[in-house]
Amino acid sequence: MLLVYSHSITPRLNYIFRHVLTRILGLEVGFTSKVEEFIAHDGLKFSYTRQALGNELFVKNNELLFNQGIDYLEINMVQWDGAPCFFQTNPGSDVPCDIFAASFYLISRYEEYLPHLKDEHERFPASESLSYQNKFLDRPVIDIWALKFGELLRKAFPKFEDELKNENRKFDFISTIDIDMAFKFKHKGFTRNVGGIVKDLSQLNIGELWMRFLVIFGLQKDPYDVYDTLVGLRKKHNIRTLFFFLLGEYGTYDKNISPGNSNYRLQIKDIADYCTVGIHPSYYSMQNEQKIKKEQSLLESIVNFPITKSRQHYLRVALPETYQHLVDLEIKQDYSMGYASHFGFRAGTCTPFYFYDLDFEIQTPLKVFPFAAMDVTLKDYLNFTPKKAYNTIMHLANEVRKVQGTMITVFHNESASGNGDWRGWSKLYESLLREMSKLKQ
């Protein structure tokens, strides 16, 4: 066991030390504020306090883990052997920064509680984040810091080499698919199809109009109906794949097929037989627990088992309210932690973590799975070609592999179809799964 001495054992300290030392480094960790107990411990140990007790491994603390509430914090960036870090410590510390306070700042999304400019969808934008402004958004810095700290422990305690090996931590990849619009033309009803025909005619989009008629009359498969292909790729490459279904009422930002449509319900049930499914709470559910509950219950009635996984539509998350609602609804896993406007690691880590509620200063049972890249981000926000998008995703995957973390991507059935503006993206997706399968070996 690794014993940590600190002058005060707070919920924040307990939370972040367990993430860094246990979930990333795989170490059993204990805490003490008794000097005599720390000195007597004959094993892995270090002190995290204001000044060293003696000649032990020592990290000078920032006050963040001993505070409560939210305050503006002055942050200056420095380097630790090529890795960006902040909350600089004095020369007496064995680490140039308080990596535990810095990790807590990033993973708790502390900065999102501070005053900031929101984007058009009331989201915290990447451009407001410390990691974007200091150009380390594409690096899982918390995992990098943790592994570097693990090296310090190995040098300080060479006889505990075996205990410091984390053989359970391996690179993993999870493919997630959002179903915002299950079909492009099918099962939309008379009114929506007439509206689509009028729009195609007004824009002289003859090719789209012709395809619409072929699909409606059963002469051609709907271009967004790529579910057999997606399930087949999951089996072929042995990739864990999750589908998130939008079941909200039709509106400006929620344009899926009606959840009452029997064909859509059958499609959901069919996918649930082969892949994990979750709810994709609708646009206006961000601060509306009843909406999430209604849509969660609807999906449960379709698949006949509890729904415990979720990702917010448009990635609309208001901290801490949205996550508090998910906890109340017994959602166990959320996959919304990422930016719509930029790729990278929003929470600074590629290791799933439990949401820490800064309102109540507690770790919640909601496990957050941060994703690194989304198809819409790369194509629509950044105007990347499929080739550039693929190279970007592989760059992120290689960063994750260096720290043996979990790489998560977000695609949609529209992009996986390769239809229209998404031409070339179906090949990108298949190539991605093939390469990720190789990296996992």
Q: Output the six-digit token pair for 288.
A: 């509306």
Q: Output the six-digit token pair for 304.
A: 């006949």
pLDDT band, very low/low/confident/very high, at 185 (cuts 50, 70, 90): confident
Instruction: Calculate Rg over the CA atoms of the chain.
Output: 24
CA angle 318, 319, 321 (to 5 degrees): 80
pLDDT band, very low/low/confident/very high, at 139 (cuts 50, 70, 90): very high
Percentage of the chain surpassing pLDDT 90? 85
**Cα of 97 vs its chain's centroid, Å:** 25
Q: Output the six-digit token pair for 340.
A: 């719509």
* pLDDT (0 to 100) of residue 46: 97
Q: Are 369 and 352 in contact (CB under 8 A)?
A: yes
Distance, CA of 64 to CA of 73 (rounded, Å): 9
Percentage of the chain surpassing pLDDT 70? 94
Per-residue pLDDT for 201 more than 80? no
Q: For the domain 172-184+222-440, what is the CATH code? A: 3.20.20.370
How many C-beta atoms lie closer than 10 Å to residue 384's C-beta?
18
Distances (CA, A) of 80 to 84, 123, 137, 184, 227: 6, 32, 16, 50, 46
CA angle 216, 218, 221 (to 5 degrees): 90
Q: Are 301 and 332 in contact (CB under 8 A)?
A: no
pLDDT digits (tens, 9 = 90+) for 361-407: 999 999 999 999 999 999 999 999 999 999 999 999 999 999 999 99
User: What is the b/e burial string over 59-73, where b = at least 16 CB atoms within 10 angstroms of the residue's CB?
Assistant: bbbbebbbeeeeeeb
* pLDDT (0 to 100) of residue 350: 98
**Cα of 428 vs its chain's centroid, Å:** 21
pLDDT band, very low/low/confident/very high, at 12 (cuts 50, 70, 90): very high
Tell me phi and psi for residue 338, to 5 degrees. Answer: -175, 170
* pLDDT (0 to 100) of residue 167: 83
* pLDDT (0 to 100) of residue 213: 66
* pLDDT (0 to 100) of residue 391: 98
Q: What is the pTM of this model?
A: 0.94
User: Three-state SS across the chain?
Assistant: CEEEECCCCCHHHHHHHHHHHHHHCCCCEEEECCHHHHHHCCCCEEEEECCCCCCCCEEECCHHHHCCCCCCCCCCCEEECCEEECCECCCCCCCCECHHHHHHHHHCCHHHHCCCCCCCCCCCCHHHCHHHHCCCCCCCHHHHHHHHHHHHHHHHCHHHCCCCCCCCCCCEEEEEEEECCCCCCCCCHHHHHHHHHHHHHHCCCHHHHHHHHHHHCCCCCCCCCCHHHHHHHHHHHCCEEEEEECCCCCCCCCCCCCCCCHHHHHHHHHHHCCCEEEECCCHHHCCCHHHHHHHHHHHHHHHCCCCCEECCHHHCCCCCHHHHHHHHCCCCEECCCCCCCCCCCCCCCCCCEEEEECCCCEEEEEEECCCCEEHHHHHHHCCCCHHHHHHHHHHHHHHHHHCCCEEEEEEEHHHHHCCHHHCCHHHHHHHHHHHHHHHHC
Q: Output the six-digit token pair for 272.
A: 């649930």
How many C-beta atoms lie closer than 10 Å to residue 229's C-beta?
15
Distance, CA of 346 to CA of 47 (rounded, Å): 29
